[in-house]
Structure 1
């Protein structure tokens, strides 16, 4: 049976640096995806709000002229 400590080895400096760079890139990509989703959500919400306000104004206009 192989001891767990014998199987594990300490990563080299280059491996640690590469892992750090990859982690930073993944974090940046995740934040970019989040920002895109938030922007799309807010744009859609504003569009729907404008449509609702237009419908309400039209309905109010019809009520006053009736």
Structure 2
């Protein structure tokens, strides 16, 4: 979840604006909404979905190499 938080913060702060990252921001927010309690038990319960979201964002970024840092 910390990685998702970091990615979302970086997208919000990017000079291109958050709208440029509309799809990844949506995926991150959806996942964050499903895990409002970030206790270790809840994170473990949603681990597969969290990892899948990280992979989706990574795939998106790889298809946008000008944004990949």
Tell me the TM-score normalized by structure 2: 0.34
After TM superposition, the score normalised by the length of structure 1 is 0.35
RCO comparison, higher one (Cα < 8 Å, 6+): 2
Return the index of the structure with the highest Cα Rg.
Answer: 1
User: Higher helix share goes to which structure?
Assistant: 1
